[in-house]
Amino acid sequence: MATATKNKRTNKVDFDKIRKDFPLLKREMNGKPIVFLDSAASSQKPNYVLRAMDQYYKKLHANVHRGVYQLSQEATDAFEKSRRLVKEFINAPSEKECIFVRGTTEGINLVASSYGRKNLQAGDEVLISTMEHHSNIVPWQMVCEEKGAHLKVVPINEDGEMIMSEFDKLLTDKTKIVSINHISNALGTINPIREVIAKAHAKGIPVMIDGAQAIPHLKVDVQELDVDFYTFSGHKMCGPTGIGILYGKAALLNAMPPYHGGGEMIETVTFEKTTYNTLPHKFEAGTPDIAGVVGLGAAVEYMQKIGHEAIAQHEHDLLKYGTAELKKIDGLRIVGEAKEKASVISFLLEGSHPYDVGTILDKLGIAVRTGHHCTQPLMARFGIPGTVRASFAFYNNKEDVDKLVEGVKRAARMLG
């Protein structure tokens, strides 16, 4: 990769150069050079990932795990190489524990459905937080309803942090699983998942972490965290859409019933009885998104080459700068001011609806998210209809922040 170059002398990553790896960032929106500040929804893709997927289809494509012929073997090798890369990326003990899923949503649904159905009984409880994405609420609600179990919710404080004394109270003998996000997509809060995991494990309760927002920003080491399930989406970390990972401890995954039935996940099938394949194939029914998996592997390589430390530092600088500059605007209120925060700024302009602010920013070529960010209960907690959310990735720069601040000032003038 000629791209993500480090300056050898200073060992500093050249983020201006890295920005050039992303062809989409060269386009315009509404006649202005695009300022893309919605990476928390989905990140843009570097050439390295695009090329890997293109080359896969041009030179390697055949169905995986099936053919006796060389091409199919090569496709399978490329596919399984990505699994290895992911294993190393999150430091999983084994490749078998890294299951390809469509994304975070499917990862959570798989666990809620398979683990939840098997282990939940009437009166049991599932513990989540107020700041969960709908995809970490609804699957649990569905299985709770079916089983007569209850969803318990850890409240948060005004800054958008989980109240840990309440967590302690809600973690009881009835709790069968805890499912919390690592980083809140709406507020940017980095949750104290180490503490959550330690406390749950002290009571023998497994923990699932929704890592959708964390994986693009932080180094995640599932062994060091001792997390039971960790799931994330490729498309938020420079990979393609439609592919993600569910990591689970082998002991738990082995004890769980399959999620989808079909090809690939079986050992033998007769009309009387089917026996299931071993991990990870047991949870990978059907032809997988092979090109997506290859793209995800390339995204892992790309991110690793830059390095999480440099990424986190660069994004933190943008967060600090953006927060300080936005706060200077009269009537602007930041929603979510946790002490530990990722590069997400949710805000409101006094007297203005987020939709109006977003519409004017759009006209200025600035892409931000407006609305409830799939966290309606969280918005209800703050008593607001939604927020404007700017999120920064490592390919953003200070100039993007300046344009955002100028844009918000313009919106404030027009709407005020």
Ligand X SMILES: Cc1ncc(COP(=O)(O)O)c(C=O)c1O
Consecutive H or E run containing 35: strand 35-36
The yes-or-no answer on residue 238 being catalytic is: no
CA angle 189-195-197, nearest 5°? 105
The residue within the footprint of ligand X, chosen from 39, 109, 114, 185 (CB under 6 A), is: 185
When asked if residue 317 is in the footprint of other proteins (CB under 8 A), the reply is: no
When asked if residue 369 is in the footprint of ligand X (CB under 6 A), the reply is: no
The window from 13-21, 131-139, 248-256, 355-363 that contacts other proteins (CB under 8 A) reads 355-363
* Rounded Cα–Cα distance for residues 33 and 364 (Å): 9
When asked if residue 179 is in the footprint of ligand X (CB under 6 A), the reply is: no
Cα dihedral sign for 9, 312, 229, 107?
Answer: negative
> Is-contact 341 315, C-beta < 8 A?
no
The residue within the footprint of ligand X, chosen from 114, 233, 277, 396 (CB under 6 A), is: 233
Q: Which is nearer to ligand X, 164 or 374 (CB)?
A: 374
If you count them, how many residues does the chain have? 416
Biggest CA-to-CA distance, the chain = 71
CB of 118 to other proteins, least distance (A): 35
The residue within the footprint of other proteins, chosen from 7, 30, 278, 287 (CB under 8 A), is: 30
Sequence-distant (≥ 6) Cβ neighbours of residue 153 within 8 angstroms: 127, 128, 129, 130, 170, 377
CB of 374 to other proteins, least distance (A): 10
When asked if residue 385 is in the footprint of other proteins (CB under 8 A), the reply is: yes
Q: What b/e sequence results for 42-65 when a residue is b if at least 16 CB atoms lie within 10 Å of its CB, and e otherwise? A: ebbbbbbbbebbeebeeebbebbb
* Residue 104 interacting entry, from ligand X, other proteins, none, C-beta within 5 to 8 Å by type: ligand X
When asked if residue 368 is in the footprint of other proteins (CB under 8 A), the reply is: no
* Rounded Cα–Cα distance for residues 355 and 93 (Å): 45
* Residue 175 interacting entry, from ligand X, other proteins, none, C-beta within 5 to 8 Å by type: none
CB of 352 to other proteins, least distance (A): 7
When asked if residue 375 is in the footprint of other proteins (CB under 8 A), the reply is: no
Give the 3-state secondary structure of residue 301.
Answer: helix
Sequence-distant (≥ 6) Cβ neighbours of residue 77 within 8 angstroms: none
When asked if residue 181 is in the footprint of ligand X (CB under 6 A), the reply is: yes
When asked if residue 387 is in the footprint of ligand X (CB under 6 A), the reply is: no
177 has which bridge partners? Answer: 126
> Is-contact 48 302, C-beta < 8 A?
yes
Give the 3-state secondary structure of residue 346.
Answer: strand
CB of 30 to other proteins, least distance (A): 8
Token readout for 31 is 């006649």
When asked if residue 138 is in the footprint of other proteins (CB under 8 A), the reply is: no
User: How many residues bind other proteins, per CB under 8 A?
Assistant: 17
When asked if residue 263 is in the footprint of other proteins (CB under 8 A), the reply is: no
What amino acid is encoded at 182 in this protein? Answer: H
Q: How many C-beta neighbours within 10 Å does residue 248 have?
A: 30
Q: Which of residues 198-217 bind ligand X (CB under 6 A)?
A: 210, 212-213
Q: Which of residues 35-74 bind ligand X (CB under 6 A)?
A: 41
* Rounded Cα–Cα distance for residues 55 and 203 (Å): 49
The window from 113-121, 151-159, 261-269, 367-375 that contacts other proteins (CB under 8 A) reads 367-375
When asked if residue 391 is in the footprint of ligand X (CB under 6 A), the reply is: no
Cα dihedral sign for 29, 33, 35, 39?
Answer: positive
The window from 121-129, 216-224, 331-339, 349-357 that contacts other proteins (CB under 8 A) reads 349-357
CB of 269 to other proteins, least distance (A): 42
* Rounded Cα–Cα distance for residues 317 and 218 (Å): 15
* Residue 360 interacting entry, from other proteins, ligand X, none, C-beta within 5 to 8 Å by type: other proteins
* Rounded Cα–Cα distance for residues 71 and 62 (Å): 6
* Residue 135 interacting entry, from ligand X, other proteins, none, C-beta within 5 to 8 Å by type: ligand X
The window from 144-152, 261-269, 276-284, 370-378 that contacts other proteins (CB under 8 A) reads 370-378
When asked if residue 371 is in the footprint of other proteins (CB under 8 A), the reply is: yes
As a dihedral over the C-alpha atoms of residue 13, residue 294, residue 246, residue 390, rounded to 10 degrees, the angle is 40
Residues catalogued as catalytic: 374
Residue numbers of the site for other proteins (CB under 8 A)?
30, 352-356, 358-360, 363, 370-372, 385-386, 414-415
Residue numbers of the site for ligand X (CB under 6 A)?
41, 103-105, 133, 135-136, 181, 185, 210, 212-213, 233
